[in-house]
Amino acid sequence: MKVTVVGSGYVGLVSGACLADSGNDVLCVDIDERKIGMLRAGGIPIFEPGLEAMVKRNAEAGRLRFTTDVAEGVRHGAIQFIAVGTPPGEDGSADLQYVVAAARTIGRHLDHYCVVVDKSTVPVGTAEKVKAAIAEELAARGSKQEFAVVSNPEFLKEGAAIEDFLKPDRIVVGSDDDRATQLMRQLYQPFQRNHERMIVMDVKSAELTKYAANAMLATRISFMNELANLAERVGADIERVRQGIGSDPRIGYHFLYAGTGYGGSCFPKDVKALQRTGQAAGLKLRILDAVEEANEAQKSVLLEKLDRRYGNDLEGMKIAMWGLAFKPNTDDMREAPSLVIIEGLLARGATVVAYDPVAHEEAHRALGDRLGVAYATSPMGALDGADILMIVTEWKEFRSPDFEAIAARVKRKAIFDGRNMYDPPMVRGYGLEYHGIGRL
């Protein structure tokens, strides 16, 4: 099937590559000439495990191409995905200017029946706006060309996006057009050979499903962080509590890990956008207000632990930081807790030497040339001359470090673990202080 993907960012590029890998003829369109040039040269603008090899393989096979020619993109696809950014506006609502602009471009050049798919994370009612924008452009040309608009929200986890696309838990399609629904079934048939994974519903329900899913996961994270803070006050161990409640099949173990708060491009933005949707409908979503407030506070929990242990004047202290990205297996620094923590450390007079397997460049872009921030090329290299070790991202390579070497290098022999990676008694057995989140 001929597929056009408008937008070659995270969602668009992963979707396009995975669809090409199943045999479709995919054309990715983006107005960013630098990005398209990089993709044509064999590079990719983001870090995602396995993506570069998949893009290269399908580009060489001729199934995946890249262009800045929007008219060519519209002429190409029987299915046209809109996968452009929806950044938060000043009031927290999703900014739909790029989505509507993409729709208008389709309307200006459309000359055959196609299904326009909202793949971007968008608020309820966006499909109607996309349909109206295309219809308006067609009317301006005097064209009565038929088309359909469906909602097909993505559920890709950064760091596992390819696996999520190729082996989805569910494929949500919001459609009120039988012809469009059948084309979507045909497109996704290779990804649900084992059993039916497509859930077809009305368009508005599909649009709300995406926000509801991310808001629910964010709620679980904030809830566990609040419980972890309580556990410290009452002398309980949050890891034991996690096991106790996670064993209940009604709850399960996923997203029950306490830490330094969530970040990234999805949860913070989507929680705010859903709050704004509620406000526009005259409804205050009180739970989401609390989720956001708890998350922002949790990003400073390691700083509060430092204050209690050493006071808030850290002048002359060097902090080794393991992990910068908001989660492992990505270089995404958007809303990363590490940014809040680094700013807090610098404000207290400390310096930071950070190590992350892939996020140094993005971290430098986010922080700029800040005095007092340096980057190491290895975990142990970050410990040279450090007073304490702080863990902010739970990369696999941090799971089993040489604790004897840590104890020998870290002057104050202390680990502040923002991801509860280690067993406290075991770490203390090496003569190290251990400060986790809600741990005994």
Residues acting as catalytic residues: 266
Report the half-sphere exposure of 375 (CA within 13 A, side-chain side). Answer: 17
Instruction: Specify the residue for token string 């808030």.
Output: 312
DSSP character string of 139-182:
HHTT-----EEEE----PPTTSHHHHHHS-S-EEEE-S-HHHHH
Tokens for 419, please give them.
């991801």
First-last CA distance in the chain: 56
CA 248/CA 226 separation, integer angstroms? 20
Residues 6+ away with beta carbon under 8 Å from 394: 259, 323, 327, 328, 419, 421
Q: Which strands form 115-118's sheet, in the order they lie side by side?
A: 64-67, 25-29, 2-6, 79-82, 115-118, 148-151, 171-174, 198-201
- Strand bridging mode 25-29 / 64-67: parallel
Angle between helices 126-140 and 203-234 (to 10 degrees): 150
Tokens for 365, please give them.
């872009």
Phi, psi of 3 (to 5 degrees): -130, 135
SS3 of 36-88: HHHHHCCCCCCCCCCHHHHHHHHHHCCCEEEECCHHHHHHHCCEEEECCCCCE
As a whole number of Å, the CA-based R_g of the chain is: 24
CA 127/CA 202 separation, integer angstroms? 11
Q: Is 103 exposed, middle or buried (0-12, 13-18, 19+ CB in 10 A)?
A: buried
Residue 337's identity, in one-letter code, is P
417 and 434 Cβ atoms separated by less than 8 Å: yes
For residue 112, how many other CB atoms are within 10 A of its CB?
Answer: 12
Angle between helices 97-109 and 126-140 (to 10 degrees): 40
203 and 125 Cβ atoms separated by less than 8 Å: no
CA 219/CA 63 separation, integer angstroms? 40
